[in-house]
Structure formats: structure tokens, C-alpha cells
Amino acid sequence: HPMPWADGNAFQTRMEECGVKFDWNDPKSWIWFNGDLNAYYNKLIASDSKRNPNVISSYAVHRWMGKDKSTLIHYELIHGMIQQFMEQSESRNLRLLDAGCGLGAGLMWFETNAPKVWSLVGHTISTAQLEFINKLPSHKFDAVLKSYDDLEVYKEEDTPFDVMYSIEAFIHSPDERNTLKKWSEALADGGIIVIVDDFLSVGVDKEADDVQLFSKSWMANVLQTTSSLSDIAEKFGLELVVDRDLGSEYQVVKRNYRNKIPDIRPTKKKNHQGWLGAGMRQRLMVEGKITYRLIVFQKKGGMTSSSSSVALSQVVQGQCASVPLAPDNESLLDFQPLEAAHRTGKGNDGGSKQKCISGWYCCGQGEEWWDNLDSKRTHNTSYLKLEKSLFGNYMDEMVEHLNTFY
């Protein structure tokens, strides 16, 4: 039987005493919206009355980042990408599109914190979200009830965007190829697309049952690694210039999930498929099967020399970061080769030497420790199983690659 009742409900308890078994994983335990994103979000918004139109952070519905559990860092990061890749961005009349603008937090943040000469437009397909946006304090930005794929009017008016950004919305695209094609067509040469969202980790099977359940419940139609998405984007003149693992940088798993796999059960108040999706997203992030990332695509034709030199150190080709090469007429970097050494980390010079403190990554004991853990593994630690090849003389390997790089 599906589970439409809160855990511990008297009727449920009595039924269990009589021998009835309830399957928490029965799909009928959840309310499904059959791909209707408008109804999906409208229902979620109706169940939450804590949003204050006068406090941006209260309706910036994103993952917490940093020790202060901020949901506004996302906008600061996007602003930083604009400053990095768009020359003289603070004085130009840039046009920005918030692709999947939600409750309007990003638009309001940029209107409040970015140059006043910037023009801001947001697209949402949720009538409830647009209704909330219309109740926000007086603003100049425009928000419209449209898919973020519906950009024909801007092409017809010859008003391309300089910047497009999408926070936790691109994943809902029913066809990522078409979306990137439409975005590229409506983007000015040299313009950038900034996406903050969940991506598959390299090597994860997108057809696996847990990944597919996440996809269905979260309406996560885009199941791509950043490398595979980059391959698609290149066909539309978009070059991947930044790929940042925000999950690691901002300790997303620790701050949001306390490093725990959730016990996913529907209740009377939380039986919306989105709650199942959120639970599956947490599970897959803790297990390392999906990552929370910021990526930037730049449309070819307008990249400046200053921005391209910065981008070179961050661009990802396949799974490896590119290494800058010295021109024929330029000498190689003169540097003292690095050496592996255990130090205390105190002071400006790295501190004094000390003994090895972790057999996992050094002292040649890595594989021995791996065998020890594997022989005593329990169900609770099964998700921690990393490849044996990752363990060994970690410091020596790091030094080898750093010296090669320099």
C-alpha cells in the first residue's frame, strides 16, 4: 500500500499491527505532476508562506553556501563572472536574462547591487512565481510568463543578451540541445552563459534506478556531466571557459545535508514529488553521484585577450584542465622544483617538519588501509568505496603533477 499518512499515525500503526505492510517507496505515496512544471511549482509555492518580498534571501530558494548558509552567494559569483569576462562591464549597458527566474530573487539582487545601466529580464513558466514577483517592491526589471527557450522576440527586435544565467533551472530543460541552441542564437558575440546546477559525476550511469528516480521526481531532465554538456554546447558556438565545483568550495553537502543520506518518506504535508526529488538529490550528492557546479560558456566571436588568458587556466577539456604552453620565443618558467614534506602549516613558510599524520594518502600505506577498510566494510559505509588506485603516496603524486605543470 502507498503511504499517504504521517509516520506514527494511529490508523497506520493499527494497520501494521494487523499485518499490513506499507511500502515507503511506492510511487503512489507521492503526488505527481506528470511533467507540468507550472503546476509543480505552483503547488510548492502555495505550501510555503514564509517568503518576505522585502527580504531577498527569504525568496532566494537555492542551496546554502558557506559558513553563513547564504543563498545569495550565487548572485555574487555570477556578478564576478560578468566582471571577469565582459570588459568594462560596470559602465556598459549590458542586457541580462534570468533563465528560470523563480520568485525573482536574482533579478532583485542585480537591480539592487549591479550597475543601474544594466537591463534585466526574467522568464518563468510558473503563474504563482510571476504573481509573487509582481508583489515585490518597486523595480525596473521585467519578468514574463515564458519558457526560457522562447526567445524569438529578442531576435526579431535585434536585442541580443550579453549575459544569460540560470540557477537550478537549466536541469528542467526538456531538451538541453535545443535550449543551448536557442540561448546561443539570442546571445551577443562574446556574451556569456552562467549555469549553476546539478551535474552527473564522471562515470555515473544515468540509467541507474536511483538516478532515474531523481530525474523523474525532481524533473531533472538534463543528466549530463560538464564535459558532455560542453561537447553539445560547442556545436552552437559556445566554449566552456569555467567549471567550478561549488559543492566542494562551499561545503554544500556539509552545510545542507550534514553529510547524511536521508530517510525519504512521504507525510501528509510533504507528499509533493518535489520532496522526493529533494531527498534523492541529497542522497546522490552525499554519495558523490551528482555535483553542484558553476559553469560558464562564452559565445565565440568576442572573447578579449584579457578574458581568454584568465579563462585558459580554468577551461576544462574532457576531464583534464588545459596547461598553458610557452611560445617558441619565450623561456620556460624558472622555478625551484617542489618536494613532498610534512609540515605543521604554521607561519608563512609552511611551518616546521613533522611526521606523517595520515596513512591514507602517504607513507606508502594507502593501499594497505584500503584493504583494511574493505575487509570490514558495513552497509553504512558502502557509499564511501572509492577506487583503490586513488590511494597511495598522495603527496608524491601531487608534487609530480605540480612540477610537470610548472
What's the chain's average pLDDT? 86
Q: Does the pLDDT value for residue 332 go beyond 60? A: yes
Q: What is the pLDDT of residue 56?
A: 97
Amino acid at 250: Y
Is 218 a residue whose pLDDT tops 50?
Answer: yes
Confidence (pLDDT) at 381:
61
pLDDT on residue 392:
66
Model-wide pTM > 0.85: no
Give mean pLDDT, residues 10-18.
80
Predicted confidence at residue 306, as pLDDT, reads 38
Name the band, by pLDDT with cuts 50, 70 and 90, for residue 5: low
pLDDT reported for residue 384: 61
Over range 195-203, report the average pLDDT: 96
Give the model's pLDDT for residue 326.
63
pLDDT value at residue 26 = 75
Confidence band of 315 (pLDDT split at 50, 70, 90):
very low
Those residues whose C-beta lies under 8 Å from the C-beta of residue 178, and which sit 6 or more positions away, are 149
Question: What's the average model confidence in pLDDT over 150-178?
Answer: 97
> pLDDT of 367-392, one tens digit each?
777 777 777 776 666 556 677 766 66
Question: Which pLDDT does position 327 carry in this prediction?
Answer: 64
Cell readout for 294 is 558553476
Which is nearest to 169 in space by CA: 117, 222, 211?
Answer: 222
Res 362: pLDDT? 61
pLDDT of residue 221: 97
Instruction: Say what the pLDDT of residue 294 is.
Output: 97
Average pLDDT over residues 2-11: 61
pLDDT at 311 over 50: no
| 176-185 and 226-234 helices, crossing angle to 10° | 50
pLDDT digits 0-9 by tens, 232-254: 999 999 999 999 999 999 999 99
